[in-house]
Amino acid sequence: MIMKLDFAGSVPIYQQIRDQIVQAVADGVFLDGDRLPAIRALADEVGINTMTVNKAYQLLKQEGYIITDRRNGAKVQCSGGRKQAVERKVEKELELLAAEAKIAGISGEEFAKLCRKAYDG
């Protein structure tokens, strides 16, 4: 798994790892039940501390995107049980983005078009 990490950016590395794994699941790169790289292997591949990868995996586990097992490692979990939590999160984040768009002069139509573009990829 090749990750593109921005070491100079403001987003923490563990968050970048989490976000890229979520995006990979959404894009179908990882399917339900697929095994993720071992923490040590991923840390070695991208040249970071194992604790950083561990923090990303713990966050993914907490959010319900993966399950972990000492013997089998981390596996993707694509269940619909978290739909309501994700809907609330998206709604909250979209409210803030909509406010920023209004201030910037972006119309509702343009905002909706940008949302559709982001959703469709």
Separation CA 57–CA 72 (nearest Å): 14
- Give residue-wise pLDDT tens across range 1-13: 789 999 999 999 9
Q: 0.95 cut: is pTM over it?
A: no
Higher pLDDT among residues 57 and 72, named by residue = 57
The stretch 20-25 carries a mean pLDDT of 93
- Name 73's bridge partners: 69
Instruction: Please check the confidence at residue 85 and state whether its pLDDT lies above 80.
Output: no
The band of 78, judged by pLDDT with boundaries at 50, 70 and 90, is confident
Separation CA 22–CA 3 (nearest Å): 12
For the chain, the structural domain boundaries read 13-78, 81-120
Pick the CATH number of 13-78 from 3.90.1010.10, 1.20.120.530, 1.10.10.10, 3.50.50.60: 1.10.10.10
